[in-house]
Chain A
Amino acid sequence: MEQLLAMDQTPIRVLLAKVGLDGHDRGVKVVARALRDAGMDVIYSGLHRTPDEVVNTAVQEDVDVLGVSLLSGVQLTVFPKIFALLEEKGAGDLIVIAGGVMPDEDIVAIRKLGVREVLLQDTPPQAIVESIRTLVAARGAR
């Protein structure tokens, strides 16, 4: 049944991105693989990208979800830039999620900016898949 439903729909498109100088890519790779195994189209930016590069790719590739992985503590620098650029490019409805290691108060702050989900260390892969499916379903067809 689930498979039939999945075949019916176009796959969810996700861009996973590493922004800044941080090279921790263990988590983002696990997420990439889990989403791919769940039938989503996954693009991974690779390391050391700027907010500009990431937003351009997200728009060009027409993704449903942009996931940004950060383990270097720069979330309060990076997300404001990303949302400003998305707005500028008319892609304000794109679903943005975050992953990594960050303090609780920063999670509150980036959620206020518009980050829809924050996936911390040890989030089970299946929970990530479900959370993305739920967010995309709630947004509805584009």
Chain B
Amino acid sequence: MNWLESEQRERLQSEQKDWEAKEVATFLKKQPERKEQFHTIGDFPVKRTYTAADIADTPLEDIGLPGRYPFTRGPYPTMYRSRTWTMRQIAGFGTGEDTNLRFKYLIEQGQTGISTDFDMPTLMGYDSDHPMSDGEVGRMGVSIDTLADMEALLADIDLEKISVSMTINPSAWILLAMYVALGQKRGYDLNKLSGTVQADILKEYIAQKEYIYPIAPSVRIVRDIITYSAKNLKRYNPINISGYHISEAGSSPLQEAAFTLANLVTYVEEVTKTGMHVDEFAPRLAFFFVSQGDFFEEVAKFRALRRCYAKIMKERFGAKNPESMRLRFHCQTAAATLTKPQYMINIIRTSVQALSAVLGGAQSLHTNGYDEAFAIPTEDAMKMALRTQQILAEETNVSNVIDPLGGSYYVEALTTEYEKKIFEILEDVDKRGGAIKLIEQGWFQKQIADFSYETALRKQSGEKPVIGVNCFVENEDDVELEIHPYDQSTAERQISRTRRVRAERDEPKLQALLDQLTAVAKDESQNIMPVTIELVNAGATMGEIVERLKALWGTYRETPVF
């Protein structure tokens, strides 16, 4: 079923030609347009205006209805009409106790989910007393070495009611083990725990660059997280396949979308190799995308991603359960668009980006703080960001009608254009041997670096306007802004707890478990999660677990491309 009969389409096209020859031409004589050709931020050329003829080739079933294949219009049939998106502001600094206080503050302010940022040592699998951790403990996020830290982080928070997201990758399986161990300790039903770990290692090699081991064993860990969760944590999202960092590393929105789906394909292949059917785990796969500055392009990107995902899961992987075909995503506004000059205008940038996330059908959203071009956000900046979401949800009525931009000639045409280009890139990736091989060759990395450099040149020339930076610049010498302070006692407080845990544990038992860990790691048919849960229960630190497997697997070092 199509939008237009071919005769109507021809009539419409000839009317448009007539309009261009008459009204448009007359106007252009008086005043030329601002540019000869306009482009989206992602470099898609756009027309002067769009008509039904531009979407005549898009089958109506591809647009469809919310909650129905191919889910272009949304993963659920009622969307924000039943419950608005989860407002999930990320937080993390200092020790578990420090961040726990921020969590409680955000919950008091009306936040509906928790999201955790970890410090660099935790993200990279170093204990807080490792030499590489010097100066970094609790600085960019919360420091977690042991189960005792996790207990402090989540103290007094009802994990059966509040979902916890953990932004962590190469060491994600250890954090998940701590989360499970904590859940068991508190007597929760594990199948009631909802939440997520990011655990998307492939985009780390491509973009964010938090990795420990070589690619193959790292992907095996991800596989183990997914299969363990499918069996033991029915409501848990074991992975957030992420475009956010690809975009923040400088990619175009198209690259963000296509590279993320290339990574998805790799994960699904790895898990199905174990004999698990796609419908056993795909319903819990989750995604994480950025909302960049080009308003309509972002909405089209989100809609196209849902359609592509549905088709990939159904046609390529033979999913039968519609839940395996509906893409659900967390969204964050684009941190790299925030500026230090005239920093308060970051609130406005963030609001517009948040609106495209909402009109694009995000399931949860983090809005950035206005001060993030200075340091990690203060409590006040986070409150502003949360209020931005609350205004969208409560005051604007944008959540009352599902996919209100559906049917817009422009948005539908761009959605279909995105779908086509995404599938072209995915085909190219397949032909070249798949995502892992291309990561090793720096293929994705080079394309991101190219687009990022072009963006820098476009900002320099003013072709890409940035208010306060290359236009409407103000002289502001001394900015009086209170930024998030770093508590110098953090490392000491953190290290003392870690040393206490080490002193109090049963050492021979721990060593035996570490040997068992090596044995499990060597045998690819086994799952690494159960022994890791035992290890954290026995007082093992993250660093000890990570180092043990470094001895077996070695570490990864990239050959940089720029």
Contact = CB atoms under 8 A, between A and B. Distances in A.
B120 A20 contact: yes
A25 to B, nearest CB: 6
B392 interface: no
Q: Is chain A's binding surface mostly helix, strand, loop or mixed?
A: loop
A73 B248 contact: no
A102 B132 CA distance: 20
Contacts of A21: 120-121, 123-124, 126, 132-133, 136
Interface in A12-50: 20-26, 29-30, 32-34, 44, 46-48, 50
A85 interface: no
B134 interface: yes
Contacts of B139: 72-74
A47 B209 contact: yes
A40 B210 CA distance: 29
Q: How large is the interface on A (under 10, 10 to 19, 20 to 34, 35 or more residues)?
A: 20 to 34
Contacts of B134: 77
Interface string B530-562: 000000000000000000000000000111101
A125 B456 contact: yes
Of A24, A44, A101, A122, most B-chain CB atoms within 10 Å: A122
B452 interface: yes
A122 B459 contact: yes
A49 to B, nearest CB: 10
A73 B469 CA distance: 23
A119 to B, nearest CB: 12
B375 A73 contact: yes
A5 to B, nearest CB: 23
A48 B125 CA distance: 13
A122 B469 contact: yes
Nearest to B209: A23
Of A29, A78, A124, most B-chain CB atoms within 10 Å: A29
A76 interface: yes
Given A72-B120, A124-B460, A25 B209 contact: yes
Nearest to A21: B120
B121 to A, nearest CB: 6
A103 B374 contact: yes
Contacts of B502: none
Interface residues of B, number: 45
B120 A121 contact: no
Given A29-B452, A74-B139, A121-B373, A23 B562 contact: no
A26 B245 CA distance: 11
Given A29-B560, A77-B135, A104-B479, A23 B452 contact: no
Q: Is chain B's binding surface mostly helix, strand, loop or mixed?
A: loop
Contacts of B111: none
Interface in B109-150: 120-121, 123-124, 126, 132-136, 139-140
Contacts of A124: 456, 459-460, 470
B558 A46 contact: yes
Of B209, B478, B486, most A-chain CB atoms within 10 Å: B209
Interface in B129-186: 132-136, 139-140
B466 interface: yes
Contacts of B121: 21
Contact of B453 (A23, A33, A50, A74): A33
Contact of B208 (A23, A72, A101): A23
Interface string A59-81: 00000000000001110111000
Nearest to A30: B456
Nearest to A127: B460
Interface string B361-377: 00000000000011110
A23 B210 contact: yes
A126 interface: yes
A20 B478 CA distance: 29
Given A20-B135, A33-B449, A44-B560, A26 B336 contact: yes
Nearest to A50: B132
Nearest to B251: A26
A48 B121 CA distance: 11
Interface string A104-142: 100000000000000011101110000000000000000
Contacts of B460: 124-126
B510 interface: no
Contacts of B466: 122
Contacts of A48: 124
Contacts of A32: 562
A29 B449 contact: yes
A25 B449 CA distance: 10
Contacts of B449: 29, 33
B242 to A, nearest CB: 14
Contacts of A76: 135
A40 to B, nearest CB: 13
A22 B339 CA distance: 20
A46 B557 contact: yes
Interface string B451-471: 011001101100000100110
12 contacts: A21-B132, A21-B136, A23-B204, A23-B208, A30-B453, A101-B373, A101-B375, A103-B375, A104-B479, A121-B339, A122-B339, A125-B456
A-B CB proximity, top 5 nearest: A77-B135, A23-B209, A21-B120, A124-B460, A29-B562
Given A46-B557, A101-B373, 12 more contacts: A21-B121, A25-B560, A29-B449, A47-B558, A74-B139, A76-B135, A77-B136, A101-B375, A103-B483, A104-B479, A121-B336, A122-B340
